[in-house]
Structure 1
Amino acid sequence: MSENSISIRPPAVILCEPQLGENIGTAARAMANFGLTDLRIVTPRCGWPNERAREVSSGAVHVIDAVRAFDSVEEAVADLRFVFATTARSREVLKPVRGPVEAAETLVRFGGEGLATGVLFGRERWGLNNEEVGLSNEIVTLPVDPDFSSLNIAQAVLVIAYEWRQRATAGALPFDAGTEIPAPRKS
């Protein structure tokens, strides 16, 4: 488990053929912000290890140092009991489609039972193919504008990681400033 004292097993994040080390590093940063540490990459075009990923991770080196690289999506998800595939396109694959809140609830439920889960993210240019989506249990999609549904990979990871953390911690904030009454402003 993560050092943030959450007793729920966090999901793995799987990036399929990421193009740039910068995208891996910013995805790692987004993961670390919300307590996720299991980053898996499938045949990264930029090679691995990648110094640019480390440089742009803004200190999320614990995620970068633990990255596991795989030759195929099948290998990357083989040990996971439940996987969401992310996509912004309707598919010919018959899978339940969830929004990020419902997907996070599912990940928390299974993670609370100690099951290994994951979220599969596609290539920056064209996402996942149908065979890769077929390896998942369900699809998660974000309520984006259908006329412009392309997200940066780190942005997509951030949304899913945020929703997971919200449900895993019941929305607990990292600190509380108290309930003092604000001082009046000068006129």
Structure 2
Amino acid sequence: MAGTDRRRKSEAAEFCREDAPAIILVEPQLGENIGMVARAMLNCGLIDLRIVNPREGWDRAKAEKASSGATMVLDRARFYTSTKEAVADLETVYATTARVRDMVKPMVTPRQAATEAVELSPTGRKIGILFGKEAKGLTNDDVALCDAILHLPLNPAFASLNLAQAVLIIGYEWFTMNDDTEGRYVHKSRSKSARPATKEEVIGFYEHLEDALDKSGFLRIEEKRPNMVRNIRNIFARIELTWQEVQTLRGIVAFLSTGRGGGPGKGKDD
């Protein structure tokens, strides 16, 4: 889904935090996958990418293309020869794995891991999330280095994800823990015409519409008119009309009232 505001692309780094979890890819095989992971990371304000023994000859150009412009993540990526080396400076590490392991470890969901990461952030604790190679995942030795297993609760009969999808799900949970976006809101356009309509403008539309309905005979039953008018007004009150929308609605009422030929309710062919 395309959604980058090109005018703000240069600000992307401002939404990345140094205390965000590190993303550690163990033996990734394809440059495209590394690029898509970088893209998912920048989507979620993650900047610390660590790569352990990528396949020899992986294509940086393909990684950049697949990153869709998230080159700042690729440029900062650090490379290691072992998982042990990649996690050495971290204090809490989660292993992402879908396979049952013959070891006792706490299991956490992405949301729980994100919650813990946010809670630990003020203490200065450095956190990492470990991802295995595309086909085989992490080895038991890799998992043994971690404090908990991060398990994604998905369709148990089909829980297959590619690297970037897994990173995006986990990164999204972390990002939203630090985000105050309302669950439901109206997009505020920069256009002046998109400003909220004043009550005077909305009431003017109501009266225009009701006058047209009176003239058409729609509100002809006097005892029912007050309730019908309230119902009509309540319909539009729920929409949070903008100035431009009020003007459009008034134009519609005027057009339907006069018809193409200029007479009330008449079309030019009538």
Taking structure 2 as the reference length, the TM-score comes to 0.62
Gap regions ≥5 residues in structure 1: none
The answer on whether the counterparts of 1:40 and 1:76 sit within 8 Å (CA) in structure 2 is yes
Q: How far did residue 3 of structure 1 move?
A: 2.2
**Which residue in the other structure is 2:160 paired with?**
150
Task: Give the whole-Å Cα distance in 2 for the aligned partners of 1:94 and 1:22.
Answer: 34
- Residues 11 and 172 of structure 1, relative CA distance in 2, 3 Å threshold: farther
8 Å contact kept, 1:108–1:164? yes
Match of 1:110 among 104, 113, 120: 120
| Cα deviation code 1:113-156 (max 9, x no counterpart) | 22111100111101111110010011111012222222100000
> CA 1:148 to 1:76, structure 2 compared with 1: closer, same or farther past 3 Å?
same
RMSD: 2.5
Give structure 2 stretches of 5+ with no counterpart: 1-12, 189-194, 197-239, 253-270
SS of aligned partner of 1:163: helix
1:56 corresponds to 2:53: no
Are positions 1:80 and 2:80 aligned together? Answer: no
Cα drift, residue 29 of structure 1: 0.3
Aligned to 2:137: 127
Write the deviation string for residues 8-44 of structure 1: whole angstroms up to 9, x where unpaired.
Answer: 7100000011110000000000000110000001101
Gap change, CA 1:89 and 1:74, over 3 Å in 2:
same
Identical pairs, percent = 47
Deviation at 1:101, TM superposition (A): 0.6
In structure 1, the residue matched to 2:177 is 167
- Where 2:129 maps in the other structure, the secondary structure is strand
Greater relative CO, 1 or 2 (CA 8 Å, sep 6+): 1
Matched, 1:11 2:21: yes
Q: Measure, in 2, the Cα distance between the counterparts of 1:121 and 1:112.
A: 25
Counterparts of 2:116 and 2:49, CA distance in 1: 19
Residue 97, structure 1, aligned to residue 107, structure 2 = yes
Q: Which residue of 1 aligns with 2:47?
A: 37
Matched residue SS, 1:120:
strand
Contact 1:11 / 1:111 at 8 angstroms: preserved in 2?
A: no
CA distance 1:32–1:112, change in 2 (3 Å): same
Map of 2:10 onto structure 1: none
Structure 1: 4+ residue segments shifted above 4 A = 170-173, 182-186
Distance 2:49 2:158 in 1: 27
List per-residue Cα deviations over 1:49-77 (Å, max 9, x = no partner): 72211121111111000000111100000
Structure having the larger proportion of residues in helix: 2
CA contact (8 A) 1:99 1:140 kept: yes
Q: Secondary structure at the match of 1:26?
A: helix
- Report the residue type matching 2:92 in the other structure: F
**8 Å contact 2:35–2:62 — kept in the other structure?**
yes
Which has the larger Rg?
Answer: 2
TM-score (norm 1): 0.88
Q: Report the Cα offset of residue 169 of structure 1.
A: 2.4
Amino acid at match of 1:4: F
Count of equivalent residues: 184
CA contact (8 A) 1:86 1:141 kept: yes
Task: Call closer, same or farther: CA 1:5–1:126 in 2, change over 3 Å.
Answer: closer
